[in-house]
């Protein structure tokens, strides 16, 4: 039988090792796993950033020829579609919003559009972008009877799909900033709407950098919506866009708004029904304008 007794001092538990080396082994393994984890995390973030930039660049390149910033270069189109945003930001006027209103008014007064469709968020009775846009367009001399309100433009996708499916448009001139127009036109084409853009001025301040960074994410979200089959939140009954009678320019025959235009009394009746129907979100206009001036922003249309 083997003899049992105390182990001689200094003799290692395992030949060729000592206690210090055994204690260092777990620490070394933990550090290796940490380095690998950080490497995978960095690679994942780099890959995600690269994907975002590629989507952003692809949409910009695919739509750049459909956008102009010069009024004289705009091809006459019956309907201009303004994409809504908040009227104010932190108690100050939203210069993105103001530039869109001024650009749309210039289109109308130049005779290059016959009517304006304002599409924005009216998710609650206290927030109403279309009413605000209508009021400010009228202040710039656009007749109210040539302004049609889309109360369910909750997102850019909703506005573009509703322009075709609800308002019966086959062709439209979208008004927003250039970075936003690219996404809007990209979405419109995917849903069979022939869209071009008139770019409103970009405000010359540092906030543009933040908004542009947000747009990179919004473009990837738009692609994801298309891949997953997302549609507008609300469609509803068919409506028509109200237009002026005598055009100043020749308009493409493909425009469909005039051929589908209802008599003025029917259109006015439909607009009144929209305001009376709480489901169509036309209530609380005065409270909504107060909320807009405070800079509450409810949608993705920057």
Can you tell me the distance from the alpha carbon of 87 to that of 121, in angstroms, rounded to the nearest whole number?
11
The predicted-structure confidence for 3-40, as pLDDT tens digits, reads as follows 555 555 555 555 555 555 555 555 567 778 888 888 88
The span from the CA of 159 to the CA of 130, in Å, is 12
Report the distance separating Cα 117 and Cα 138, nearest Å. Answer: 13
pLDDT score of 198: 97
pLDDT number for residue 14: 52
pTM score above 0.85: no
What is the pLDDT confidence band of residue 90, given thresholds at 50, 70 and 90?
confident
Q: Give, for 220, the enclosing helix (H) or strand (E).
A: helix 207-227
The pLDDT of residue 21 is: 57
Q: What is the DSSP letter of 300?
A: S
Higher-scoring residue by pLDDT: 186, 288: 186
Residue 78: which of 268, 253, 266, 264 has the closest Cα?
253
Angstrom distance (rounded) from CA 242 to CA 236? 18
pLDDT digits (tens, 9 = 90+) for 94-119: 899 999 999 999 999 999 999 999 99
Confidence at residue 5, expressed as pLDDT on a 0 to 100 scale: 57
Q: How far apart are CA 116 and CA 146, in angstroms?
A: 6
Pairwise CA distance, residues 88 & 94, whole Å: 4
Pair 102, 233: CB distance under 8 Å: no
Chain segment 41-64, per-residue pLDDT in tens: 888 888 888 888 898 999 999 999
- Position 277 scores a pLDDT of 43
**Structure tokens, 207:** 């906030």
Report CA-CA distances (Å) from 288 to 65, 92, 129, 201: 37, 16, 8, 26
> What is the per-residue burial (b if ≥16 Cβ within 10 Å, else e) of 35-59?
eeeeeeeeeeeeeeeeeeeebbeeb
Rounded Cα distance, 6 and 103, in Å:
94
Confidence class for position 287, pLDDT limits 50, 70, 90? very low
Q: Which residues contact 194 (CB under 8 A, 6 or more apart)?
A: 170, 171, 172, 188, 254
Across the range 209-229, mean pLDDT stands at 90
Q: Average model confidence (pLDDT) for the chain?
A: 79
Check: CB of residue 117 under 8 Å from CB of residue 163: yes
Percentage of the chain with pLDDT > 90? 48
Residue 117 bridge partners (DSSP): 81, 148
Domains in the chain and their CATH numbers?
74-293 (3.40.50.620)
Quick one: pLDDT at residue 252? Answer: 66
In 3D space, the residue among 245, 302, 291, 300 whose CA is nearest the CA of residue 125 turns out to be 291
Checking if the pLDDT of 191 tops 80, the result is yes
At residue 186 the predicted structure's pLDDT band, cuts being 50, 70 and 90, is: very high
**Greater pLDDT, 147 or 258:** 147
> Region 246-260: what's the mean pLDDT?
58
DSSP code at position 73: G
| Per-residue pLDDT at 149 | 96
pLDDT band at 124 (very low <50, low <70, confident <90, very high): confident
Reading the block at residue 180, the tokens are 């936003």
């Amino acid at each position: 039988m083997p003899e049992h007794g105390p182990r001689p001092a200094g003799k290692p538990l395992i030949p060729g090792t000592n206690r210090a080396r055994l204690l260092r082994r777990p620490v070394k393994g933990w550090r290796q796993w940490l380095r690998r984890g950080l490497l995978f995390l960095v690679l994942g973030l780099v890959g995600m950033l690269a994907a975002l930039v590629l989507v952003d660049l692809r949409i910009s390149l695919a739509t750049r020829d459909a956008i102009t910033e010069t009024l004289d270069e705009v091809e006459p189109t019956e309907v201009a579609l303004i994409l809504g945003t908040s009227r104010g930001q932190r108690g100050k006027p939203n210069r993105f919003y103001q530039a869109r209103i001024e650009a749309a008014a210039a289109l109308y007064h130049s005779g290059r559009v016959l009517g304006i469709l304002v599409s924005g968020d009216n998710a609650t009775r206290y927030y109403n972008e279309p009413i605000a846009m209508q009021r400010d367009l009228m202040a710039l001399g656009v007749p109210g009877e040539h302004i049609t309100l889309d109360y369910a433009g909750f997102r850019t996708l909703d506005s573009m799909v509703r322009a075709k499916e609800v308002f019966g448009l086959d062709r439209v001139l979208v008004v927003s900033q250039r970075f936003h127009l690219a996404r809007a036109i990209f979405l419109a084409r995917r849903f069979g709407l022939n869209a071009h853009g008139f770019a409103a001025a970009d405000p010359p301040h540092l906030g543009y950098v933040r908004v542009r960074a947000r747009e990179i994410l919004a473009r990837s979200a738009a692609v994801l919506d298309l891949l997953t089959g997302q549609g507008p939140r609300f469609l509803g009954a068919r409506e028509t866009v109200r237009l002026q009678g005598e055009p100043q320019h020749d308009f493409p025959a493909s425009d469909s708004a005039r051929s589908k235009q209802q008599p003025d009394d029917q259109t006015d009746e439909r607009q009144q029904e929209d305001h009376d129907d709480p489901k169509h979100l036309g209530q609380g206009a005065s409270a909504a304008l107060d909320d807009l001036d405070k800079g509450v922003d409810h949608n993705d249309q920057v």
